[in-house]
């Protein structure tokens, strides 16, 4: 059963309630536009709910001579929100696969990360969902996904560790069996400043 989406007016009213709950006055001049701004920001933060990964794989290309070769994109920036506190977490993703019958463009790998990160998430599930989509739509010989992120819910509350970085990984097929392939992903963690590509 599909849930009925609240109206924009209802969403803005909910923000006003939270502002009042925080101890401030949602009617004061500086906060009057805040509910509308928050709702607009939510539409961007959680735009992944309005997209499906399948749309990215409609233009798959035959792997040809790349069959059996690694395709890795490192340093994909992403931002998401923790489903426990609605606090942002952000970092970089390293995504790779061993080509089977089909390939997909590098831009689609970036968009795949974006689709799943722009939802309420936990990092472990985000990592698995990216790997699941690659397996389901490309049938590769192996998949590797590694995410490294800073969680603001742990930086400004609770343990208060602003420099902590949380790392999650999912290795399947050839990536699970070959440490050299895993190193292709790991070499793109902390310190990378821009995306890099490894093919074959």
What CATH number does the domain containing 116 carry?
A: 3.30.1130.10
pLDDT at res. 1 = 53
Q: pLDDT class for 191, splitting at 50, 70, 90? A: very low
Q: pLDDT class for 123, splitting at 50, 70, 90? A: very high
* pLDDT tens digits, 130-147: 999 999 999 999 999 999
- Residue 47: beta bridge partners? none
Domain total for the chain?
A: 2
153: closest CA among 83, 49, 48, 78?
Answer: 83
If asked whether residues 25 and 101 sit together in one domain, one would say no
Report the chain's mean pLDDT, rounded to a whole number: 91
User: Under 8 Å CB-to-CB from 60, ≥6 apart: which residues?
Assistant: 102, 103, 104, 137, 138
Q: Which domain holds residue 28?
A: 8-45
Q: Which residue has the tokens 């985000």?
A: 126
- Residue 147: beta bridge partners? 93, 168
If asked whether residues 16 and 63 sit together in one domain, one would say no
If asked whether residues 105 and 14 sit together in one domain, one would say no
Residue 32 domain-assigned?
yes
If asked whether residues 17 and 79 sit together in one domain, one would say no
Question: For 75, phi and psi rounded to 5 degrees?
Answer: 75, 35
If asked whether residues 102 and 192 sit together in one domain, one would say yes
Residue 51 domain-assigned?
no
Rounded Cα–Cα distance for residues 185 and 86 (Å): 29
Res. 184: pLDDT tops 80: yes
User: Under 8 Å CB-to-CB from 138, ≥6 apart: which residues?
Assistant: 57, 60, 97, 99, 100, 101, 102, 103, 104
């Amino acid at each position: 059963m599909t849930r009925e989406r609240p109206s924009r007016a209802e969403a803005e009213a909910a923000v006003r309630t939270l502002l009042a709950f925080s101890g401030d006055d949602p009617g004061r001049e500086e906060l009057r536009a805040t509910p509308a701004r928050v709702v607009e920001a939510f539409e961007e933060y959680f735009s992944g709910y309005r997209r499906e990964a399948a749309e990215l794989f409609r233009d798959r290309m035959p792997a040809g001579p790349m069959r059996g070769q690694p395709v890795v994109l490192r340093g994909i920036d992403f931002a998401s929100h923790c489903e426990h506190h609605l606090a942002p977490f952000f970092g970089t993703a390293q995504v790779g696969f061993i080509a089977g019958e089909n390939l997909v463009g590098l831009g689609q790998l970036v968009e795949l990360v974006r689709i799943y990160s722009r939802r309420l998430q936990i990092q472990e599930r985000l990592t698995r969902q990216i790997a699941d989509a690659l397996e389901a739509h490309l049938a590769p010989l192996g998949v590797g996904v590694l995410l490294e992120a800073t969680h603001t819910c742990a930086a400004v509350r609770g343990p208060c560790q602003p420099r902590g970085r949380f790392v999650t990984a999912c290795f399947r097929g050839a990536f699970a069996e070959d440490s050299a392939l895993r190193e292709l992903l790991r070499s793109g963690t902390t310190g990378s400043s821009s995306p890099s590509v490894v093919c074959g």
